[in-house]
Structures are given as structure tokens and as C-alpha cells.
Chain A
Amino acid sequence: MRLLTLLLCIVSTVVCFVPPQTWENVVVSRAVDLSKSYVLEEYALQVRNIDSKPNGVYYFAVPNFMYEKISTVSVIQGKDAFKPLEYEFVEQSSDSANGPVVNYIKIQTPPVAPKSTLLVTVVLTVTNVLEPLPAKIGITEQQSLLFSSFKKSLSAYHTKKSLLKLKGITEAKELNEADGIKGEATSKALVYEMEDISPFESSPLSLLYRHLKPLMKVNKLKRGIWVSHWGDSLQFVEEYQTTNEAAGLESGFSRADYMMNKEIVTSSHAALALELEMEDGAFDVYYTDLVGNVSTSLALSDKIFIRPRFPIYGGWHYNFTVGWTNKLGNYLKKVGDDEYTVKVPLLNGIPGTSLDDVEVSVYLPEGSQVVGVESDIPPESEEVGYELSYFDLGNGHTRVTLHYSNLIDSVKQLSILVKYKYGFREFMTKPLNVAKYVFIALLAYLALSKVDITLKAKK
């Protein structure tokens, strides 16, 4: 088999890579959570070193169609979240004979002695893989989603036992059962059990299941965080551009049907309301969109429930802005002479959604200098600029902008740390400036009022 792969690689002249056969998968247990609008896959790998020498590199195979849509990856040793393992994406891929193109994540494990086993957990979140089928349905019909993946765990190594658990689904139906592997439905999940799988062996899975929830997706999020020393506040402004990627409406939106089937539409693929998380203790909460304030929202101290202007059906877009303020104290730390760090959450956001494009800007007070920026997830780009705001008479607020793409809501535990210099002189510039201009204005008024413009006959 391996020979064949090698041969194929040579023939196809594609830059090709096949990992050395140094491992064997004892058990691959794959759990897929389909309850959200993105897919969460958790692989528990029990692997054995079949090489003759200790080995510390494991190549985790991911089919190319999935690889392109990976949002986050985390690899830990065993099941302990505090033992993260180093990993990197491998640039080359291999072209398996009867399977898909395979990409790899190269995992650095602690050295494993020959014949020993190791437990590795890989958690992947994959976005944009669920699609509604049929793509357009009536307002009272129920939505089904198609999950296209693979059944047998795809690996570069031989696998002895493979388990696939599909969770968070109802009324599931497999579309293509040619391979004869039947799943067993338990109360919580649909479980497939398979044994003895050769490297690169794969079998497709097309699963259709009921999903009576919208598939909200944030196309773009512009998140602004304003640090104010004078106001002792941290202001958040989030501009969302969202789309519901659920099944579209067959014909136009009929309000009559909507009103006549209230029970059906309230739990359907339409987004009638959204829940947004904020920082705990948020106040001055607002919810607006491009045409003004939206009055239908309910704000608690750490979340806000918003009702969009119209129910968001499949394929419809809705842009809005949410903002709030928190006390600065919990986020700001003085670390030295005139030096501060501000630690802000990377994301608050809508639970259960993925975000294509995220731009986080931290606005520091005017006159401050950025010393360093740290982000738990490496940003795609990072820039420092200026933005004019209220009472800015110099360059404006110092702005640190970080770009991310393809995130999911669970990264909200992560944070961004900005270290900056902000001295007493800069701190006092603003009130002094304001005082200066008020004084000039008063002087000018006084001078102007002394000008005599009355007409008098010459004497």
C-alpha cells in the first residue's frame, strides 16, 4: 500500500509527502459535535511506536476538504488541558490512491519508546462544512443539514480500532450506505465502530439530520475597545455583519404564513433573536444598526438578548452594532513608571457561531506609545495607527489593530495584552489644551466686542 502511494506520488509530480510509518493507531476515537453552526471534532488517539527507536513526531492526517476549513486546533497530551503539545501545519500534502488529498498536522510528542503507547487528544473546529439540504424550503418546513465527512478515521498509519460518535443530531439519516457500515443509535449519539483500517483508507459519510436552529455566521466583526484613563472606563463597540447560512425560503417571506404558524417558526431555521455575551458588569449598553436605534433588546449585566428588526431567514443578512462600557480597573495594570498593560478579551460575541473576519482595535489614550502587543492566537496582521476622537487635538488616540480570520466563539476565553507608555504630561495635555482654546475664544470675543462699527457723521 505504501509503495503504491509512493509510486503515485512520483507519477503525479505533485510535491508530495508521506510520513514514515513509525506509528500505529491502537484506538482512534472521534467525537463530532454537530449541534452548533460549526463542527467540533475531538480525536482521542491512542498511538503506539512501532519503530525501533524512540519517536517524538506524529503526523495527524486531515483530508484536504476539511483542512481548508479548520478554524482552531488544540493538541494536548492525554486528556489534560494543561499539557499542550507543540504542533505545526505541514505544507506538503499527499495524494492517496482512492481517498482524498491528505494534509498533515505535525505533532511534537514527548519521546516515546518503541512499543510504548501514548494518548493524544486533538480538538479541531471546522467551519463552513454544514450545508442545508434541500437548500430552499418553505416557511413551515423543517430544515435538514448535510454533514459531509468520512466514516473510517483517515490516517497515515494503520489503525486497529476506530470509533466515530456523532453527537447533537436528531432524525439522522445516512445518504450513502454503500460501504455497509451501519451506525448504532444510542440516546446521545450515533456510533460507528470499525476495525483494521489501512493507511489512507477512507469511506465517505453523508449524513442528513434535522437542525431546527439557524446557522448564524459572522462575516465580519469590527471590534473597538476604547481605553480611557480620565473616564476610568473601557468602552466596547462591536460592529457585526452576519448571515444566516440556513436553508433559504422557497418563495418570498409571507408574513401571513409566519403569523399563522407562530409555534413552528419560533423553533425553526430562522433567527428571531440573538444572544450576545458581554463583559460582566457592563453598563451603558446600546444596540443599533445602520438606520438607528433598535428598541427590542434586553440587557443583563453580562449578556444582551437582541431581536433583529426582522426574522433572519436562510441567506439573509443582518448588520448591527452593540456597545457597552466596563470599569477600566479590572483590565488595567500599572507595570512601571508611566507604563501600563491593558488585558482585554479577544472576543465576546454570539455563542455557537463562527467568524470569518475579525478586526480588533484597541484605542489607547492620546499620546500613549505602544510598547508591545501579545495575543493568545497569533493575528494575521498587526498595525499601530492613530484615530481622531473627542478632544483630540494632536495625532489622536493611539490605535492597535489586530486582524484575525476564521475564528469561532469559543476563543473568547483568550485575550489580548497591550503594553504602553502613558506619562503624566500626556495625561494632562488634554485638559490643558481645552483650557487653552477656551481662553483664546474668550479673548477673541473680548477683542471683537471692542470693535466699534457704529456710523457717525464726521465732525
Chain B
Amino acid sequence: MSVEVSEATLANIKLLLRVTILFSIAAAAVSSRLFSVVRFESIIHEFDPWFNFRATKYLVSHSYYEFLNWFDDKTWYPLGRVTGGTLYPGLMVTAGSIWHGLRKIGLPVDIRNICVMLAPAFSGVTAYFTYLFTAEIKDKSAGLLAAAFMGIAPGYISRSVAGSYDNEAIAITLLMTTFYFWIKASKEGSVFWAAWAAGFYFYMVSAWGGYVFITNLIPLHVFILILMGRYSHKLYTAYSTWYAIGTLASMQIPFVGFLPIRSNDHMAALGVFGLIQIVCFGEYIRSKVPSNKFKSVLFVSVILIILLGIAGLVSLTYAGLIAPWTGRFYSLWDTNYAKIHIPIIASVSEHQPTAWPSFFFDTQFLIWLFPAGIFLLFQELRNEHIFVIAYSVLCSYFAGVMVRLMLTLTPIICVSAAVAVSKLFDVYLDFSDYLKEDKTEKPKDDKKSIFDILSKFAVVGTFVFYLYLFVFHCTWVTSNAYSSPSVVLATKAPDGSQQLIDDYREAYYWLRMNTPEDAKVAAWWDYGYQIGGMADRTTLVDNNTWNNTHIATVGKAMCSNEEVAYKVLKQHDVDYVLIIFGGMLGFSGDDLNKFLWMIRIAQGIWPDEVKERSFFTERGEYKVGREATQTMKDSLLYKMSYHRFVDVHMRSGRPAVDRVRSQVISEEPELNVVEEAFTSENWLVRIYKVKDLDNAGRDLREASSFERQAAAGIKKRTAKRPALDIRE
């Protein structure tokens, strides 16, 4: 029975097992993100990734400096966008470097495939760093569990499936990496690790606006530790190194520039940096001056300095030297702020608050293991545990306020749930007592071991079953909810087979093929990046949303009557107007459902011309059918959406029911200033050409009514009698 195994061999076996497990976790993480590629194709998803993809293509076909100086005149017409200076280049540079690197070793992979596969590949890396991080928090076995959780938790998969080529794809990896190195640095007081943390912090800054989270969380950790009286020179070394290198490095990113010393978002880090210098000085003095009174002097002076600092901050903010909180950041604290002041931020679906089912949906049983893990960490409460706790509480709040921040919460849920499960397994999976050979001390009662074995099996069995269920849950959620590219929609045909609805690409490709290359397309900002990426045409507004007025202009054109809209469109040189209409197909995310936001945003700029109220019926309802208000029926978007909608239904004898809003459209709207140029197969995308000014100087309404009459006249003539000569 007893096989003597040396310590070294055991360590090697353990290492081998660990490596195997980690590789399998990485493989599982990557493959569970490939549903969309298998089911659809290797395609860039959603909206923002299309811009990132376009920028990456620009980067690999130009030099890096050209990329940084890229002025894009195909967006925000006629303003253009200083793209190179207003983006986080980390993602594109990563993909570009991989592209170049692979070419160097004889693998000229298409840049699209690199972009598509970037997120899954990085998720494998994330799993590995989650393992390292958790190993620092508890031990290696907890690390393996955390890595497995992180690999397949839907909360992270939601933003990292193949094709979702967005900043978050690499940002979560960098987040975990930075935190790991920070924990390592603060534990060991090592400049080396702190420099690594700063390096990855820099990478994070270059990749995602969410770096502010790190900028505030690490100082918070340090601040709490100081408050708890856990200041040490290790902490001082780690934080000072990280802050100095990290801040200087982050200022190299053009989009960030001097923000780290001029914006309120970054002031906490600066403040803590100052504080830790003072505390360090104080410690030094105290070690030299053994006096009790000194303590209170120190205490008072610290309080004074903090107060002074805050006062200085406030006055500098008022003086305009320091930028106040950014809107997005501010809306996290004052939850009504965005709704009132920045409708553009409030209109984005991923900025909505999170209802509880989403939490469970994204993490399954980890969500209730999460508080258990946190509570268990309190039992020990080492310095790094405080970091985890601060992260958890802060991020739970953020994730509750904004759906998209679920993403930053998921890693810490995985970590602390892994701690809980691992502690449980430490207790109940430990059968070493029964395997011991020496029977020197026979237990007094046999029942003890039987009862204990039973309870151990019960607990372990239950939790292994939970884990099993978790895997099924994750697979199901990933496959059903998070694997649609949203550019292509899938439906079930009557015979149960899958059918693809490819209207977006149909219309974008039509634009690309059959319109002049310098045509300007007006569409709601959601589709700006896609039009730029797929149709390759100039857009007025896009998902970058940096210019509210410009967006409001498009909103105004959509919600005004034809005359006003025509003026707006002509003033902005618009050739085509593109809208999304789901009424034929039953697709609810269409422009008429986003209409209220267009109106609200336009009203923000032109309160006298656009009034949200006039789009609501007397009873305050949003109606498109017979009861729709006149303003609604006159609006350009309404007319473009329902143009010829009634006709088609009349022909087949069905009532013209809008399948999204379940209302009957009774009359055909009259459209004068634009002309239908293209409509996709399921009417999802409709493109209208803005008519030229009339030759005879008539307004377009007169002109088209003349044409209509003329056309009607021809029909009559052929049917009945020769037309009368008008001249007497």
C-alpha cells in the first residue's frame, strides 16, 4: 500500500496536474466562446467592435504615427473626428502586433480573424491570471477553481465571445493582471512587482476608459490599510512606485494626456500618494521622537492636511484648473444625473440599472457564494483580503447601477466564490485521516468516522453537483444569450431549421456598391460605426457620441415634419437617410422604439422646435396607429418607416399591423422630400435618397403632388377618354 514518494516527485506531479488543469481551463474558456463562429461565421459583432475593427485595419495598413494622427473625415460629417487622439489604442495595437508577429513567423492571418479571435484568446490569459491572483488570496487550489469559474462565467463571456472585438475583451485580462501584480507588490514591498503593476496599468489605460476603476481602487485599498493602522514600508514602496510610474506612463496616451493631474477622477490616487508620503514621514519622526504627545499632533496634522487637500481640490475645480467628474463617472453616483442632463448616456441600454435576475443569469450559484466568500475572508483579513473586500463592495454597487459593469464584478465574484468553495472542500474533501496507515491510536467510537464520512460525502456530492449544474448553466446561457453577432439575426423557420436574417449587411452592402463613394448617410448614431465599417460611407453621427449637438441634429431631422427635416438634411449635405424598421419582421430594437430618445436629445438643443409631449396622445401614450398624434404622423421617421407599408398589406388583404407595436396602421403617409432608394428583404433597413431641389423651383411637396396627379392622369387617359385640352 504505502508507496514512498519523495517530496520533489510529489511537487512535480502537482505541477504537472496544475499545468494540465490550467490548459484545459484555457481550452474550455476559448471553446465556449466559439458558439457564434460555429453557428454564424467569423464576423465582428455589434456596434463598437466595427469601429475598432476599422481602426485596426487602418493601423495595419499605415504606420503607428499615422494612426495616432489619423483624422477621419468619413465620420461626423462635416466636422470629422481626430480619431487617433480620441481613442484608446491598446486594443488595436494589440491586434496589430499579433498580426505583425504572426506574419513574422509565416502566418499571414487575415486581420479580421485576429480581431474575431482576440477576445477568446485573452480570456484564456484572464483565467490564468485569475488563478495567480486567487492563489495569492488563498492558495493554489482555490486559484484553480477561480480560474475555472472565470473561464466559463457568462458575466465575462458576454463581452468576450469570438467577434466581440471591444476594449473590454482585453481590459478584463489587464485588470486581473494589474491587480495580481499589485497584490504581489504590496505583499512583498517589491519595486519589481510594483513596476510590473504599473506597466500593466499603463497597458490598461491604453485599452479601456474603465482604467479609472483601478486608479481609484488601489488608492482606496491603501487608504483603508492606513486607516486600519496597517501602514508599512512595503506598502509605501509598492504604492509610490506604482503611482509614479503608472501615472507618468498613462500620460503618454494622447487621449489621456494631462487628465491624471487635472481631472477629479484621478484625484483620489494623487491624494493618497500625498498622504502616504506624510504618513511615512510621520512614521520616521515617530521612530526618532518617542513621545506620546506626538501621536495626537500627527493625528491633527493629518486631518488638517486632508481638509486642506479637499478644500484645495474644490477651489481648483471651481477655478477650472481641474476638470470635474466626467458625465459617465458622475452618473454612477447620482443616479438621476444622466437621465436629466445627459440623455445620450441614459439612452444606452448597457447603462441601465441591473435587476437581480441578471446577476444570477451571469454568475449562477457563484452569486450567493460571493457573500459567503467575503465573510470567510473577514475571518483572516490579511492585507490582500481587504483589497478583495473593497473591490467587492464597490463593484457590487457599480454593477447594480449599470448593467455593463457586471463585467468588472464578475472576476471578484469568481475569486471569492472560489475561496468559499475551496474552504468548504478543505474541510469536507479532506480524507487524509482515513488513509493514514498507523493504527496506533484507534478512535474510540467507530460511528464518528462513519458519520463524518457520510457528511463529507453529502456535502461534497451536493457541491460537485452544483458545480456540474453551473457548467450546464454557463453553456446554456452562452449559447442562447451571448452568441448572437446582432449583425445577423437568427430565427427558426416553420420546419424548425435555422434561418438567418441578414438585412443589415444586405442594406450596408447595397450602400457600399451602389452609391457614390462620397455619399453622406444620415442614420441614428447606433448605426454609425456599422455604416462606416460595412458600407464604407460617410456618416453624420456615430457611436462615439462626442458631439451632442450633432446627434441632436439628426434627431431633429427624424422627428420634424418634412419641410424642416429637408432643410436640416440639405444643410448637412445628406444624400441618404438610413432607418431601421422592425414593424414588418417584429424586431423590437428599431428606430421607432428609439424615437423617444431622438426626440429627447433634439429637445435638449431645440426646446422650442421639438416637444416630446406632442408625440404622446392625450392619454400620455406612445401610439403609432390611428391614435397617433399629428406631430407623430408628420415626422420624417414615421413617414419613412411606414412608407408603402399599408399598400403591401392591402394587396394581400391583411390589416397593416405593425408587429412590434401591435397597432394597425391605417393610412399611407405621404412622402415628398425623400425617395425610397432601397429596402432590405424583411424591411429591417430602409434607405431613402434625399431629393434634389426641384428644377422648376417648386417646393418638393408641390412637385411630387404634381407628379402624382400626372401619373393618375395618365392612367385615366388610357382607361377612359383623351385628356381635354386645357387651353381655350
Contact = CB atoms under 8 A, between A and B. Distances in A.
A388 B507 CA distance: 34
A320 B190 CA distance: 57
Interface in B185-209: 188, 190, 192
B683 A255 contact: yes
B510 A309 contact: yes
Contacts, number: 91
A178 interface: no
A267 interface: no
Given A260-B647, A316-B514, A388 B505 contact: no
Nearest to A387: B108
B648 A293 contact: no
A390 B675 contact: no
Interface in A247-268: 251-257, 259-260
A256 B649 CA distance: 9
Interface string B681-697: 10100101100000000
Nearest to A258: B679
B534 A291 contact: yes
A442 interface: no
Given A292-B505, A316-B513, A391 B678 contact: no
A439 interface: no
A290 B680 contact: no
A317 B513 CA distance: 5
Interface stretch (B74-82, B99-107, B368-376): B99-107
A309 B509 contact: yes
A261 B689 CA distance: 23
A256 B676 CA distance: 10
A347 B542 CA distance: 43
Given A293-B41, A390-B108, A393-B106, A256 B644 contact: yes
A433 B675 CA distance: 61
A455 B192 contact: yes
Given A252-B689, A260-B651, A291-B508, A318 B679 contact: no
B346 interface: no
Nearest to B584: A255
A309 B41 contact: no
Contacts of B679: 253-256
B192 A310 contact: no
A293 B43 contact: yes
- Give the interface SS of chain A, mostly helix, strand, loop or mixed: loop
Contacts of B509: 289-291, 309-310
B61 to A, nearest CB: 15
Interface string A420-459: 0000000000000110010000000000000001010000
A455 B106 contact: no
Interface string A308-321: 01100001111100
A317 B651 CA distance: 31
Interface string A373-400: 0000000000000001111110000000
A239 to B, nearest CB: 14
Contacts of A330: none
A70 B505 CA distance: 38
Contacts of B510: 309-310, 316
B11 to A, nearest CB: 15
Nearest to B644: A256
B675 A252 contact: yes
Nearest to B485: A292
Interface in B102-147: 103, 105-108
A315 B651 CA distance: 29
Contact of A290 (B106, B512, B514, B648): B512
B541 to A, nearest CB: 21
A348 to B, nearest CB: 23
Nearest to B674: A252
Given A253-B679, A255-B679, A317-B513, A392 B106 contact: yes
Contacts of A309: 502, 505-506, 509-510
B514 A317 contact: yes
Contacts of B367: none
Given A255-B680, A259-B648, A289-B509, A389 B108 contact: yes
B677 interface: yes
A41 B506 CA distance: 39
Contacts of A434: 106
A143 to B, nearest CB: 18
Given A309-B502, A309-B506, 7 more contacts: A255-B678, A255-B681, A290-B509, A291-B512, A292-B41, A293-B42, A315-B514
Interface of B: 41-43, 103, 105-108, 188, 190, 192, 500, 502, 505-510, 512-514, 534, 644-645, 647-648, 651, 675-681, 683, 686, 688-689
17 contacts: A252-B688, A254-B676, A256-B645, A256-B648, A260-B647, A260-B651, A292-B505, A293-B42, A310-B506, A316-B510, A317-B514, A388-B108, A390-B106, A390-B108, A391-B106, A392-B106, A455-B188
Interface of A: 251-257, 259-260, 289-295, 309-310, 315-319, 388-393, 433-434, 437, 453, 455
